Amino acid sequence: MYKKKKEKLFTTEILKDPALTYPSYYVLSPAMIQNEMLHSALYALHSLDFSFYEIPKSFEEIFNMFSSGTFPIYKEKYIIGYFGNKMMYLEAYGWKGLPATAEVFKLENWLVC
């Protein structure tokens, strides 16, 4: 089976002078690199500008973001996506499964817009 080639999206392509420099790039599919909602979440994360984000009042707000195609932020350090009925966090080498720990169930660890 043919695998689609992944590409690097450098944070400097989104933000000229990022406040948060690690990771300096993300390995993503071409479709994810073109996703404007992901770009805006990465911009907020790497600029540390969470002015459009707030702590959710319920988990429904988090899942509403997933269904609308936007990405909540977890612990002010991870972009979270929902793919194939799994919550995934974005790290430098792509999307990884988010472990279901007690921290995930604390609303104060989440930011939604």
Domain ranges of the chain: 7-111
- Cβ-proximal residues to 104 (8 Å cutoff; 6+ apart), any chain: 74, 87, 98
Question: How would DSSP label each residue in 19-49?
Answer: S--SSSEEEE-HHHHT-HHHHHHHHHHHHT-
Mean pLDDT calculated for residue range 51-57: 95
Q: What is the reported pLDDT for 20?
A: 87
Q: pLDDT (tens digit, 9 = 90+) per residue, 8-38?
A: 999 999 999 999 889 999 999 999 999 999 9
**Distance separating alpha carbons of residues 88 and 99, to the nearest angstrom:** 9
Strands 25-28 and 7-10: antiparallel
